[in-house]
Amino acid sequence: MNTRRANPPSNEPHPAALPTKTVRRISDLMNHGLVGPSEVDGLERVAERFSVAITPDLVELIDPRDPADPIAKQFVPSKRELRILPEERVDPIGDDPFTPVKGITHRYPDRLLLKPVHVCPSYCRFCFRREKVGPGSEVLSREELQTALAYVKAHGEVWEVILSGGDPLILPPQKLAEIVQALAAIEHVRVLRVHTRVPVMDPSRIDAEMISALRAENVTTYVVLHTNHGKELSPKARQACARIVDAGIPMLAQTVLLKDVNDNAETLAQLFRELVVLRVKPYYLHHGDLAVGTAHFRTSIAEGQAIMRELRGRLSGIAQPTYVLDIPGGFGKVPIGPTYLGEPEEDGARKVLDPWGDEHVYPPKRSER
- Average pLDDT of the residues in 15-27: 83
Kindly state whether residue 138 falls inside one of the protein's structural domains. Answer: yes
Q: pLDDT grade, residue 299 (50/70/90)?
A: very high
Which residues are known to be catalytic?
107-108, 111, 120, 124, 127, 129, 289, 326, 333
- Average pLDDT of the residues in 325-339: 93
Are residues 207 and 121 located together in one domain of the fold? yes
pLDDT in tens, 87-116: 999 999 888 999 999 999 999 999 999 999
Kindly state whether residue 269 falls inside one of the protein's structural domains. Answer: yes
Kindly state whether residue 90 falls inside one of the protein's structural domains. Answer: no
Are residues 113 and 10 located together in one domain of the fold? no
Kindly state whether residue 112 falls inside one of the protein's structural domains. Answer: yes
Kindly state whether residue 195 falls inside one of the protein's structural domains. Answer: yes
What residue spans of 161-217 are helical by DSSP H? 173-184, 198-201, 208-214
3-state helix, strand, coil in the chain (%, to 5): 35, 15, 50
Q: Which of 28, 47, 82 is the last residue of a domain?
A: 82
Q: Which domain, by its residues, includes 22?
A: 1-82
Are residues 196 and 142 located together in one domain of the fold? yes
Q: What is the CATH number of the domain that holds 260?
A: 3.20.20.70
User: 86: Cβ–Cβ under 8 A, 6 or more apart, which residues?
Assistant: none
Mean pLDDT for all residues in the chain: 92
**pLDDT recorded at residue 369:** 47
**pLDDT recorded at residue 26:** 96
pLDDT in tens, 225-251: 999 999 999 999 999 999 999 999 999
Is 15 a residue whose pLDDT tops 50?
no
Are residues 156 and 49 located together in one domain of the fold? no
Are residues 148 and 30 located together in one domain of the fold? no
Are residues 59 and 112 located together in one domain of the fold? no
Calpha distance 353→340 (Å, rounded) = 5
- What total of structural domains would you count in the chain? 3
Kindly state whether residue 65 falls inside one of the protein's structural domains. Answer: yes
Are residues 298 and 312 located together in one domain of the fold? yes
Are residues 265 and 324 located together in one domain of the fold? yes
Q: Which of 55, 82, 109 is the last residue of a domain?
A: 82
Kindly state whether residue 211 falls inside one of the protein's structural domains. Answer: yes
Are residues 127 and 241 located together in one domain of the fold? yes
Are residues 162 and 77 located together in one domain of the fold? no
Kindly state whether residue 320 falls inside one of the protein's structural domains. Answer: yes
- Average pLDDT of the residues in 214-229: 98
Dihedral (CA of 126, 76, 283, 360) sign:
positive
Least confident of 91-95, 168-172, 201-205, 310-314: 91-95
How many C-beta atoms surround the C-beta of residue 291 within 10 A? 26
Are residues 351 and 309 located together in one domain of the fold? no
Helix (H) or strand (E) holding 322: strand 322-326
Q: Which of 60, 82, 104 is the last residue of a domain?
A: 82
Record the pTM.
0.91
Are residues 107 and 209 located together in one domain of the fold? yes
Is 6 a residue whose pLDDT tops 70?
no
